[in-house]
Structure 1
Amino acid sequence: MKKITIFFFLIGISVYAQKPQKITISGKIIEASSNQPLEYATLILTSLKTKKVTGGVTDINGKFSIDVPKGPYNMKVEFIGFKTKQLPQKTLSENTNLGTIALKEDTETLDEVEIIAEKSTVEIRLDKKIYNVGKDMTIKGGNASDVLDNVPSVNVDAEGAVSLRGNENVRILIDGKPSALVGLNGTDALRNLPADAIEKVEVITSPSARYDAEGTAGILNIILRKGKVTGFNGSLNLSAGNPDLFQLSGNLNYRTKKFNIFTNLGYSFRNGPGNSFSDFTNLENGIITDFRTEDRTFQRKNNNYNGSLGLEYYLNDNSSITGTFFYRDNNGDDTATNITNFLDANRISLNEITRIENESEDGVNKQFSLNYANNLDDDGQKLTIDFQISDNNENEFSDITDNNTLSELNSQFTKSTNTLFQVDYVLPIGEKHQLELGHKSEFQDLNSDFRVRDANGNPLTPDPSNNIDFKQNIYAHYAQFGSKYDKFSYLLGLRVETTEIDLLLINTGEESDKNFTQVFPTVNLGYELNDTDNITLGYSRRLRRPRFWFLNPFETRSSATAVFKGNPDLTPTFTNSYDLGYITRLGKLTLNSSVYYQRSTDLIRPVSIIEERIVNGQPTNVFVRQPLNLNSEDRYGFELTTNYNPLKWMRLSTTFNYFKFMTDEFSFTSTATDGTEITTLLPEVNNDSWFVRFNSRITLPAKIQWQTRVRYRGPQENAQGKRDGIFVTNLAFSKDLFKEKATLVLNVNDLFNGRIRRSQTFNPSQENPSTIADQEFQWRERQITLSFTYRFNQKKKRERPQREYDGGEAF
């Protein structure tokens, strides 16, 4: 190990010795009218000797620090929507601070500013990667799930579950905080958030201490659009598609020197068909005894209204206060038809049952947030205070008929109140150091009342109804210190979180309390080998707290032979994550790679057991799926992302991710509804999987943009089954109209209608009788969408040409 370290050290010295001596140029860029710092403003330096263009971008505090060779330079500052500022020609011979540079808005080119940009580059930070949604045509008319599914490292499966590098335990934030936009059911809520409301997504695989410790895979932070241009501007989007889809959304913004008003409004209607098929094979002593098939079709109608209104008021040149109110009303009417066929060993039908579940769901989400930000001085000292309260209500009603006879009347009433308070303080120390301190408190108070009644309104025997009270309080404190020495940057942090969980099963009076305090260290290191090569190393300790739907022990009712129920005895999963990244730029080709490793204990995984129950008077093997804490898991993988722009009219990108996971052998005993104890042994798992994504954007004649996105997720196995690979292709064509004030997009999602999850589930060591289940599931079928977007006082901005930047990356 020592020899390897010396080897890399000597390489670094050799590379450095071959380069001319460099000096550091620093300063700050602000907006002239408000004195607010401008993040991502660009300082461009052109060498008068070599004609080479170098430069860098500002950080969140408007600061830049760039290393350049000594010599004479032309210098200018650029920012979209602002007048370019030419600085005096200067010969740089020593470290130089250019001071504070103020940019004025360019009112003559205001209509050439676009909130929806054509950005295709990735912003790399020590603790995250930022992917700009930009002009991604394949998500037009889509939703947040579609956006996430197009982000490198992220996958969204057929049921809408989001995974990061193959791990589904990912924390999803909106504008850096938990949000009512995610709601009680995160999967459904993401499907109701329009893609046009999203500006960028931060992928945080090695979170620093400023972020929540929740999410063993990492964090996905969705940044919503907000207007930044003085005056009144906005855009409207109209989308229609097949299967039935209609969506109308708009974002409006009015900004003056003293305040900024912004709003996002939207309405969507979807009528989405889906289907699934299950084939159960029952065996005894290895011999097939009978079969059972379940053929399901889903018809989901959904009306969704959402709107947000925000006001940012500038108290003075350095501080502002922002209030935002969000409201969503979601109404769904779903029909699930399940035809169950019982067959003998020769596949001759013995009995057929048609089970129809009609469900109506009404959900209202409200959230109010208040933010205070104060730039205490010009050096980057900053204080922010956030307060947020949200109220989520969901009411569900369903009736179930078996062979045209009403058998059940079900209802569920869920109410959750969430409160957040957060304080963050940033203190720069000198030119290269920064200290951050913060506190965060989160409080959740939830009640879920699930009632099952027969056709006459009477409880069943036994009664599967369930009513729970769930309370979770989290108190967090963090400190982190970052610095930069020449080419080396580091960010070290420590976060302490205290968790209090109280679960009360009102029907039985059972109560479960879990209180614990844990320490979560974080380390993020970065080193610039040269102008085009960078290395990063990250470590973080994370956890996964069981959500209330994993703790609630009630059973689902849409199928009598395949049910899911929660487990109130679940404990958190803890994970240690390591990430080594390398990025290089070779002309028009950018390569971003990383190797990662995760060690998890008390792993939470859904596990299937088989119980023999009486269904319609007949003994039947029933799959019961329940989350359990397994022993541990080791997971490691490799990820490579490439961006290649060989021609002005062609852009290509690819993401490849390979991961391997190993879990220990695990044995558990469960009690069936009739009191029988069932012992199941899960064997050791040593398996792998992979996924790849390819994207191309080509400019055709008549300035028609053609985008193709292809992705494949490889097969995967675990202790109780296996899953086939999934291949999906999306196509989109775009044409600008009315002097680029409008855009028309035709988008085909899942061109070959292949987004189907095919899996096999079995119980390898459970006592006979045994059952093998072959299943197919398709959440939604191929979607064709036509979208029209019109912008007023906005136009598509031209993409800034890429340059070789000598440094300029902030920690």
Structure 2
Amino acid sequence: MKILTLLWVSILLLGLHVAVAQKNAGSYSIHGIIADSASHKPLIFMTVHLLKGSDLALKVDYSRADGSFSFTGLQAGTYSLAIQGVGYKTRKIPVELTDSVQKTVELGIVALPPDMMGLKEVVVAGTKQIVKQEIDRITYDLQADPESKVLSVLDMMRKVPLLSLDADNNILMKGNSDFKILINGKPSSMMERNYKDILRTMPASSIERIEVITSPPAKYDAEGLAGIINIITTKKLDNGYNGSVNVSERFPTGGPGLGGSVSAKLGKFGISAFGGANLNNNRTVRGGIQRITTGLQPTELLQEGTTESKSRTAYIGYEMSYEIDTLNLVSTQFNLNGNRSEGTMIQTSDLMSSAVHLQGYTLENTNTGKGNGVDASVNYQRSFRSDKNRLLTFSYRYLTYETKQNNDLSITNRENYTMPNYRQENDQRFSEQTLQVDYVHPGKRHQLEAGLKGILRDNNSDFQNSAADSVTHQYVIQPMLSNRFRNTQNVFGGYTTYQYTLKNWGVKAGLRIEQTVIDADFISVDSKVKRTYFNLIPSVSVNRKFKNNSALNLAYTQRIQRPGIYQLNPFVDRSNPNFERTGNPDLRPAVVNDIQVTFSGTGKIQLNTGLGFTFFRDLVFPVSVYDSTTTITRTSYGNTGTAKLPNLYVTINYPLTKQWNVSVNSRAAYGMVQGLVNGVLIKNEGLMYNVALSTNYKLPKEWRLTANLQMNGRGVNLQGTTNSMVSTSFSVNKDLIKDKVSIGGSISNPFRKYRENLASTFGPDFQQTNFRWDYFRSFTFSLNYKFGKLRESIIKNKRGIRNDDVQSGN
């Protein structure tokens, strides 16, 4: 804490020095920063004409990497500025330089609205830039992709650089399932439990863009080995209102869905909301497990059966802001979500040894689940008269969610199998409180940021196993197979970040300090464990701009992985008696070092490519061990692994003609992992890749056709692999009323009705394959309606709570 105090004091003193120095400007001058009116991102290479009167050009300047421009050495008089840029509307600003005391005019942020028709004097014909490379992130503009009117946010993730979907529609970021998802830069309870249910419900038409933060700066919490995915909902908010509504139907798997967003502004009040709901019906699928063991008594276990399930999901998010005056702003957020699920599995099990039938039974598992989440936050932002981009922000946030899982298992057709019918119930609750303060001090070429943060987490689990009495058939709780568990995790951190821009160069460097205090209470056995971890997390990014908005980035960052309640909870899931799953409360945080070199070019061909190397240590891996005495395979988690991952990605967007466009999103990596399993060193390696090819063609009368091809190579982990996958989809959409009403339809995998999904696992004395035939073909229809008209953007907090330090619960 002494280190944090020194950092905080030094930054305040430096900020005071800069503020005083800026007040001593000499001759007349004009300064400003040009930014996009929708995204508030600085704009580079915008042309700024200094005019005498209204039309006599005296000087010209160009905005720099941070969006800044300036004119100095000016005489007193009346001037005007004409600001122009390709893809943006021209804006004129009158400037009076007549005050003998105040000789410097600070215009602050000058917002330019996008204009696809270009400048007044020049008509620019071209496609809107879909992918943008920034110093620490890659942005994918969903509004520039016509398929956003047809598909869900989850489906669109296939097109986003560095993102892909596996066979179970889990998102992978740089091939890794450990990342954090934010909504509008903030964590949300709807992304903490099962993001797939929410994202497959969320229409892409209600989303403005997706940011892949590949090298998170020090202001972000250090968790998320791969990085952060930030989903920005459409927020072009002015006096008045606007919104969109999307209705869809997906069959034979899936179901109806409804989603949308609305925004409004009245004077100093601004509100926005987004929400959705859907039904998801999965058709009956076949699957099973084959396990072969070695040793003194080799065995072969074969389980086969069918599974069917359905779920219901709903969510709503709400934001409100109130501008007290030009220097003070208060905003609040509130999110609510819930889901319900139910399913049935019927499975036969046969255990053989040397052609001798050792054991057999039929298992029927009826399961139900439900989850609810809510989070709310309040933010106060104070800016300063000397520079309104100088900010002091105080934030508080509360989040909680709970899940309930129930399994009712009945066993019939028994052969040498004595386990009674049983039930298992697991209630998990998670709550989190966060307090945070941030300070931002900008300068002409530099920016300082600092902050302090405290996160208080509380995890609780109550697991009960009940067995049917052989005489009364009543279910009786089994104390030895049940447990109650509580885990508190408190994280205290501070950070400082410095960003400097000089001509075409930009540097952002930072250091984050975090201390984690963990208390685990095994209530059932009256045992407690306490651990403390201290981490120093550096990050640095260097950016070099070239002509035509091309850029080269070099970034290094260190990240950590704190295990969540899913990995820590010691309850034993026996929903399949031969394969048990449990958590490990002794897990430690894992550390990853990542270095990336990326290049982006924005000519006729939009190109983003990168080369990187990632090194993991103490990596949390699922660990499977076979017990020959019980013939049970138990899977838990352990800090057993190290991994090396050189990787390459290439993203291309190329307009062949004005009507025809092609894009490619590809990534390749060679994974090398090793770790101890049951005292034996296991190594595994292999090439992993994914390629998403998309092409769309614009027909007359606002019709548009799109075709997609996705190829995923096999996945590699410590103890196994998953098989490769090829999928296709075709979509068509039409604007009935341009920019207002559109309809669309798509078909996925028309050439294959089913897909075999294989996952192989091996250990010192066993090898097993999980197989499943998923229903692969589906049809989707959607109707999208946009309404409203706005003029002046809502002012929102530029800083707030971002708890991106606990991994997603995949």
The Cα of 1:589 is off from its aligned counterpart by 1.0
**Aligned match of 2:710:** 711
**Separation in 1 of the partners of 2:271 and 2:718?**
54
Matches within 5 A, 1:8-87: 27-29=32-34, 38-39=40-41, 44-45=46-47, 63-65=67-69, 75-77=82-84, 84-86=90-92
Matches within 5 A, 1:370-381: 370-377=378-385, 378=387, 380-381=389-390
Distance 1:369 1:143, change over 3 A: farther
Supply the AA of the counterpart residue of 1:762. F
User: Is this contact kept in 2: 1:41–1:77, CA < 8 A?
Assistant: no
**Separation in 2 of the partners of 1:25 and 1:528?**
25
Distance 1:682 1:729, change over 3 A: farther
**Aligned match of 2:626:** 610
The Cα of 1:154 is off from its aligned counterpart by 1.2
Matches within 5 A, 1:428-439: 428-429=442-443, 431-439=444-452
**Separation in 1 of the partners of 2:624 and 2:370?**
31
**Separation in 2 of the partners of 1:244 and 1:582?**
39
User: Is this contact kept in 2: 1:362–1:394, CA < 8 A?
Assistant: yes
User: Is this contact kept in 1: 2:446–2:498, CA < 8 A?
Assistant: yes
User: Is this contact kept in 2: 1:409–1:457, CA < 8 A?
Assistant: no
**Aligned match of 1:239:** 248
**Aligned match of 1:776:** 771
Q: How many residue pairs align between the two structures?
A: 715
**Separation in 1 of the partners of 2:35 and 2:769?**
61
Supply the AA of the counterpart residue of 2:380. Y
Distance 1:404 1:292, change over 3 A: closer
User: Is this contact kept in 2: 1:401–1:407, CA < 8 A?
Assistant: yes
- TM-score where L is the length of structure 2: 0.80
The Cα of 1:432 is off from its aligned counterpart by 0.5
Aligned residue for 1:248, secondary structure, equals strand
User: Is this contact kept in 2: 1:500–1:515, CA < 8 A?
Assistant: yes
**Separation in 1 of the partners of 2:530 and 2:340?**
35
**Separation in 2 of the partners of 1:122 and 1:527?**
18
Aligned residue for 2:784, secondary structure, equals strand
**Aligned match of 1:183:** 192
Identity %: 25
The Cα of 1:468 is off from its aligned counterpart by 1.0
**Aligned match of 2:335:** 326
Matches within 5 A, 1:313-392: 313-342=322-351, 353-377=361-385, 378=387, 380-392=389-401
Supply the AA of the counterpart residue of 2:589. P
**Separation in 2 of the partners of 1:296 and 1:451?**
26
Supply the AA of the counterpart residue of 1:450. F
User: Is this contact kept in 2: 1:77–1:86, CA < 8 A?
Assistant: no
2:170 to 161, 165, 168: 161
- TM-score where L is the length of structure 1: 0.80
The Cα of 1:596 is off from its aligned counterpart by 0.9
Do residues 628 (structure 1) and 628 (structure 2) align?
no
**Separation in 2 of the partners of 1:97 and 1:234?**
37
**Aligned match of 1:559:** 576
In structure 2, list runs of 5 or more residues that go unmatched.
Answer: 1-28, 50-54, 72-79, 96-103, 118-126, 415-419, 791-810
Distance 1:160 1:458, change over 3 A: same
Deviations, residues 506-543 of structure 1 (Å, cap 9, x unaligned): 22223222211111111111112444542211111111
Supply the AA of the counterpart residue of 1:726. M
**Aligned match of 1:638:** 648
Aligned residue for 1:403, secondary structure, equals strand
Aligned residue for 1:511, secondary structure, equals strand
**Separation in 2 of the partners of 1:502 and 1:156?**
35
**Aligned match of 1:21:** none
**Separation in 1 of the partners of 2:199 and 2:526?**
35
**Separation in 2 of the partners of 1:560 and 1:336?**
13
The Cα of 1:292 is off from its aligned counterpart by 2.8
Do residues 650 (structure 1) and 656 (structure 2) align?
no
**Separation in 1 of the partners of 2:597 and 2:389?**
30
Matches within 5 A, 1:538-557: 538-557=555-574
Do residues 448 (structure 1) and 448 (structure 2) align?
no
Distance 1:651 1:777, change over 3 A: same
User: Is this contact kept in 2: 1:438–1:477, CA < 8 A?
Assistant: yes
**Aligned match of 2:230:** 221
Matches within 5 A, 1:464-613: 464-585=481-602, 587-612=603-628
Aligned residue for 1:463, secondary structure, equals helix
**Separation in 2 of the partners of 1:787 and 1:756?**
29
Supply the AA of the counterpart residue of 1:519. L
Supply the AA of the counterpart residue of 2:725. I
**Separation in 2 of the partners of 1:54 and 1:721?**
58
User: Is this contact kept in 2: 1:610–1:624, CA < 8 A?
Assistant: yes
**Separation in 1 of the partners of 2:183 and 2:193?**
14
Aligned residue for 1:507, secondary structure, equals helix
**Aligned match of 1:787:** 782
Distance 1:721 1:85, change over 3 A: closer
Aligned residue for 2:625, secondary structure, equals strand
**Aligned match of 1:410:** 424
Do residues 262 (structure 1) and 272 (structure 2) align?
yes
The Cα of 1:379 is off from its aligned counterpart by 5.5
Distance 1:722 1:413, change over 3 A: closer
Matches within 5 A, 1:752-763: 752-753=752-753, 756-763=756-763
The Cα of 1:555 is off from its aligned counterpart by 2.1
Distance 1:57 1:173, change over 3 A: farther
User: Is this contact kept in 1: 2:36–2:111, CA < 8 A?
Assistant: yes
**Separation in 1 of the partners of 2:434 and 2:730?**
41
User: Is this contact kept in 1: 2:285–2:773, CA < 8 A?
Assistant: yes
Aligned residue for 2:480, secondary structure, equals coil
Deviations, residues 753-796 of structure 1 (Å, cap 9, x unaligned): 56653122222x33xxxx3212224666433211101112259x
Supply the AA of the counterpart residue of 2:91. K
Aligned residue for 1:540, secondary structure, equals strand
**Separation in 2 of the partners of 1:303 and 1:555?**
27
The Cα of 1:205 is off from its aligned counterpart by 1.5
**Separation in 2 of the partners of 1:372 and 1:470?**
31
**Separation in 2 of the partners of 1:523 and 1:211?**
13
**Separation in 2 of the partners of 1:482 and 1:398?**
53
**Separation in 2 of the partners of 1:645 and 1:292?**
54
**Separation in 1 of the partners of 2:445 and 2:748?**
47
User: Is this contact kept in 2: 1:393–1:416, CA < 8 A?
Assistant: yes
Deviations, residues 227-272 of structure 1 (Å, cap 9, x unaligned): 5132122121111120241112231222123111222232211112
User: Is this contact kept in 2: 1:56–1:64, CA < 8 A?
Assistant: yes
Supply the AA of the counterpart residue of 1:453. S
Distance 1:97 1:321, change over 3 A: closer
The Cα of 1:711 is off from its aligned counterpart by 1.6
Deviations, residues 571-602 of structure 1 (Å, cap 9, x unaligned): 111111111112234x4112221111122211
**Separation in 2 of the partners of 1:563 and 1:136?**
44
Supply the AA of the counterpart residue of 2:622. P
Distance 1:335 1:199, change over 3 A: farther
Supply the AA of the counterpart residue of 1:76. I
**Separation in 1 of the partners of 2:665 and 2:142?**
16
Distance 1:359 1:259, change over 3 A: same
**Separation in 1 of the partners of 2:693 and 2:92?**
40
Moved more, 97-106 or 306-315: 97-106
Deviations, residues 342-376 of structure 1 (Å, cap 9, x unaligned): 45656x98865332222222222111111223332
User: Is this contact kept in 1: 2:344–2:365, CA < 8 A?
Assistant: yes
Supply the AA of the counterpart residue of 2:457. Q
Distance 1:101 1:123, change over 3 A: same
**Aligned match of 1:171:** 180
**Aligned match of 1:15:** none
Distance 1:31 1:649, change over 3 A: closer
User: Is this contact kept in 1: 2:108–2:389, CA < 8 A?
Assistant: no
User: Is this contact kept in 1: 2:61–2:69, CA < 8 A?
Assistant: no
Query: What CA RMSD, in Å, does the superposition of the two structures yield over aligned residues?
Result: 3.7
**Separation in 2 of the partners of 1:237 and 1:632?**
45
**Separation in 1 of the partners of 2:437 and 2:195?**
26
